[in-house]
Amino acid sequence: MPATSAASLALAARLRDRSDDDLAALITGRSVSPGSVKDIFDLAEALLDAHSVDAALAGLGRRTLAALATAAEHPAEPVPLAALAAALDRAEPALAPDLSAADALALCALEPTGVTVWPSVGEALAAWPERGLPSAAQLRDTPPPAALAPVDDTDRRFLDRGAAERAFTTATRIAEIVAALVAAPARMLAKGGMSLPDAKRLAEACGAELDEVPVLIDLAALAGLVHESNGRTLALDDAEEWRRLPLPTRWARLAEAWLAQLPDELHRLLADRVDARWGDGIADFVAWLYPAADEALLGRLRRRGAQGDRLGIAVDGRPSSVGAALVTGGAEAAAEVLAPLVPTTVDKVYLQHDLTVVSPGPLDGGVDEQLRRMAELESAGLAGRYRITAETLGRAIALGETADALLAFLAGISLTGVPQPLEYLVRETARRYGTIRVAELTPEETADLGARTAVRSDDTGMLDAVLVDTAAAPLGLVRVGPHRLVSRLEPAVVLWTLIDARYPAAPEDGAVPLERPRRGTVRATVPTPVDAVAAAVSRMRESSAASGPDSGGAWVVRQWELAIRGKLGVRATVRMPDGGERSFDLEPTGAAAGRVRGRDRVADVERTLPVSSITALEPLD
């Protein structure tokens, strides 16, 4: 931590008025170690640390940097906004968003009358020329790169076909990733990145290369479809609803999220240059826009470029009609342009004698969802392919389906009728369903057997098979009779483990099928800040509460102690016995027993003041 400064005391006073969400966002956004934050003063000192300031400046755009650097040229007092706008040759209302962004990151103090740049921020910007970075004058005056080269519009139709194909593929792949995450969340490694087995599983599920998965996961996260929490990547609970939407609508949500991540200046550039090649010209503009960009920021921008390419917004550096509509009119307008370029959904399929189901086009979301209850998806895309097996039918029946309902559904969606082998398999699977029965033991049986669940079957040979099956080994089944096994695990786990192991298991006595236990929680919204950040905010709030108006002046004492440590002067405003107020410029020397001591700079005497009589305390420059 840096030594306590007048700026850190002033910043702490401002931070104290921020909401919990703002403080959490600040800790996260400025990459402050939550464990190092014990109170609001620790956070202020961490934010003004030189390394932290450098990292924050690296992520700012040129307009904000120019405003900060220009204001920092006048450190003695707040710079009026009108004067700053004149120096930057910008309208005052247009300046406010840039300064608000810097104030949100605690790089300056923005007031209605002016802006003050914290000294460590000004010092960092002043040192930029020595590091080969732009000076304040260069930040203000260097124009952006030349206009982008125009696009040859003769092959626009070919370009749009390629863009539509990419948009379709990406939306379809993310839908399959979401479905795979609903079935089982992906484990994240402590050192970062997804575990290799889960990454391979998701790549196989969506038909993409392994190195494509992080790009698609990131795009899904931007769109609020998935989220990483407690070391796992989960599908959020409206992701399945999103999967059922028409493809242009699904794409629009992804594209809108992508667009929201673009810096405003870059968005404006793309919107103004929809008839120009983006490619290398965009890279030059990004370098101008972010003169101090670190690898983390450049990496994010490169990923946005890769995602834009996969969404069909641009193809080989040339904006498509869909991309042009997106940056000028928004996601809804772009979806309207995309709709006639992608295949329409179908609600009919071909049922084949080899028990496969083939869709002649993108399958309607509702039909696809129902079909997945009774079949395994083998390939997704323009022509989806599913396979029906005894095991998949068993799962559907376990979820409450009947043979008649399954056959009626298949007949309703088939262009070729229901093949005889398929009908036989459905009815035979339904007939065999329940050969193994699963039930919860009574309390008396639980006490006697030390188990929770019973597995029963009249077919002793099938129970013999279950006992030696490695897929059922985690259940720890123990034989207690010729037709009965028991397990310490709950009935739902036993039932679905047996079903997944391809046994015709069912609840005892025709009970409603037990709900399949989820391997992960599906959240409705993005969780609140991670525990370490939330804990840091809680500590700061507890400290502030102990320093409130009714705390006996603990807040004043804490400021006084920090001023002593940093050898800072303070201006104390004191309520006098006659009801008036008087200010003293003091050099703090001690604090004890509800009183503070300090040497009066004007009278050159030491004064002792009751903490309860101090109505305001501010650091001196």
* 276 and 295 inside one domain: yes
57 in a domain, yes or no? yes
- Whether the predicted model's global pTM rises above the 0.75 cut: no
Q: Where in the sequence is the domain holding 178, given as residue range(s)?
A: 153-341
pLDDT digits (tens, 9 = 90+) for 211-239: 999 999 999 999 999 998 888 899 988 88
pLDDT digits (tens, 9 = 90+) for 608-621: 888 888 887 777 76
* 85 and 14 inside one domain: yes
pLDDT digits (tens, 9 = 90+) for 587-609: 888 887 778 888 988 888 888 88
536 in a domain, yes or no? no
Mean pLDDT of all residues belonging to the chain: 86
Strand order of the β-sheet with 505-507 is: 478-481, 484-487, 453-456, 436-440, 505-507
Q: Which of 313, 341, 369 delimits the end of a domain?
A: 341
* 210 and 295 inside one domain: yes
pLDDT digits (tens, 9 = 90+) for 567-578: 878 888 888 888
Asked if residues 332 and 348 have their Cβ atoms less than 8 Å apart, the reply is no
* 15 and 61 inside one domain: yes
121-125, 275-279, 472-476, 497-501: least confidently modelled range: 275-279
Q: Which of 278, 311, 341 delimits the end of a domain?
A: 341
The answer on pLDDT for 49 being more than 80 is yes
Helix, strand, coil % in the chain, rounded to nearest 5? 55, 15, 30
pLDDT digits (tens, 9 = 90+) for 454-467: 999 988 988 999 99
Domain count along the chain: 5
Give DSSP secondary structure letters for 406-438: HHHHHHHHBSS---HHHHHHHHHHHHHTTSEEE
Distance CA 547, CA 378 (A): 63
HSE at residue 105, side-chain half, CA atoms within 13 A, is: 23
* 456 and 570 inside one domain: no
pLDDT digits (tens, 9 = 90+) for 578-589: 888 888 888 888
Asked if residues 72 and 125 have their Cβ atoms less than 8 Å apart, the reply is yes
> How distant is the alpha carbon of residue 559 from its chain centre?
37
User: Over the Cα atoms of the chain, what is R_g?
Assistant: 33
Highest mean pLDDT, choosing among 247-261, 306-320, 362-376, 550-564: 247-261
Strand order of the β-sheet with 356-358 is: 350-351, 356-358, 385-387, 376-379
> What is the reported pLDDT for 621?
63
Residue 525's pLDDT band (boundaries 50, 70, 90)?
A: very low
> What is the reported pLDDT for 522?
45
300 in a domain, yes or no? yes
Residue 543's pLDDT band (boundaries 50, 70, 90)?
A: low
* 366 and 308 inside one domain: no
pLDDT digits (tens, 9 = 90+) for 282-295: 778 888 989 998 88
What's the rounded mean pLDDT across residues 31-40? Answer: 88
Give me the percent of the chain exceeding a pLDDT of 70: 92
